[in-house]
Amino acid sequence: MIFAEELLLVLKKNKINFFAGVPDSVLKNFTNLIDTKKNIKNLILTNEGSAVGTAIGYYLSTNKIPAVYMQNSGLGNSINPLISIAHKKVYKIPMLLIIGWRGAPKLNDEPQHLAQGAITKKILSLCGIKNCEIEKKNDLKKLKSLISYSRNKNQIVACLIKNNTLKNKKNIKSKQKFINPKFLTRSSFIKILLENVNKSHKIISSTGYLSREIYSQIDKLKSDIKPFYMVGGMGHTSSVSLGYSLKTKKKIICVDGDGSFLMHLGSAVSIRNYSKKNLKYILVNNYSHESVGGQATNIENINIKLFAKSLGYKKYFYISDKKQLKYTIKNFLNSKDSAFLEVSIKVNKSENILPRPKDLQKVKKEFIKL
């Protein structure tokens, strides 16, 4: 165990004051801490590649080492700017990667993290990125020498942190602004949605609490709806929905979170461009990465209605309270045109003890079969 405050102290002593990244539950005690510090810059970005890009730009303007934080599942998103720009054979940009190591060998974890966890260190080695694991206070010395190496040789370095390693000395309150309306919960929306779908619909849902909520309710109801849960591949729910929708007469309902929607926002353009009327898109917006610690997604900077309209959706629907719920869902599902539904939900801690789909082969088989 290490206190996030001790980790931060080492980084500050080594002149690292700039952080950019995508939130992760393993690192939340650290990233929520830096978010409260006035003399530290923390940019919560939409994907890990953009975080590396921003860090490169920061270095070019300041000559200081930036830190990029991410879950190891986001390593793939970051590889392109790491290897094609920052790498020692290209521009030699020094940088520290702080990586939450899900699926680390010998630790119990969800199926979607196991393959990635087993190869994380190998990927770093293949990329020529020197790295260390930090598990206890003493390991911070290794981190210190890695940062010196990064500075002296202009190299990318990384530290890996396993689940449950980082603690806080005192409780940190997330700086999440809670701008979302306080009326509708995720579970009440999902309940009414599930009551209004039938075997002519196919649900594809995103990483985070949405898939877990749908899974939980379907399990309790013993419903014969068999969704495809995107337990990983964050940001690709809409692309999977597009691919599935092209060769079927069924109505595809893509249920996406705001963090997931923003991660590969360009897909929104492709989907509108290539989808037929059978693809219905739902953005369930809680303005946060709720399932990994409640960090802001910054989605309030977009006018979603204008965005959906400008993409070419013929119909935009909005729900933020229980009264309009059934009526709007029915209208949305029955809409003959392309349709975008935005559902504004509140963050609700008490709702969040949710099961996770475990048997993914069964999920796939049942989804395909029906």
Q: CB-wise, 4 or 231, nearer to ligand TPP?
A: 231
Q: CB-wise, 175 or 199, nearer to ligand TPP?
A: 175
Q: How far is the CB of 293 from ligand TPP (least distance, A)?
A: 9
Strand partners, 340: 281, 316
Q: How far is the CB of 210 from ligand TPP (least distance, A)?
A: 6
Q: CB-wise, 48 or 133, nearer to ligand TPP?
A: 48
Label residues 221-237 b or e (16+ Cβ within 10 Å = b): eeeebbbbbbbbbbbbb
Q: How far is the CB of 342 from ligand TPP (least distance, A)?
A: 13
Q: CB-wise, 26 or 147, nearer to ligand TPP?
A: 26
Q: Where are the alpha helices (DSSP H) in the chain?
A: 4-13, 28-34, 48-62, 75-81, 111-126, 140-153, 186-195, 209-221, 237-245, 258-263, 266-274, 304-311, 325-334, 360-369
Q: CB-wise, 10 or 265, nearer to ligand TPP?
A: 265
Q: CB-wise, 69 or 155, nearer to ligand TPP?
A: 69
| Residue ranges in contact with ligand TPP by CB under 6 A | 22-24, 71, 73-74, 77, 206-210, 234, 257-260, 286, 288-292, 297
Q: How far is the CB of 142 from ligand TPP (least distance, A)?
A: 25
Q: How far is the CB of 259 from ligand TPP (least distance, A)?
A: 2
Return all residues near 235 (Cβ < 8 A) that are at least 6 apart: 47, 260, 261, 262, 263, 264, 267
CA separation, residue 286 to residues 36, 93, 186, 255, 346 (Å): 21, 36, 9, 13, 6
Strand partners, 255: 205, 282
Q: How far is the CB of 71 from ligand TPP (least distance, A)?
A: 4
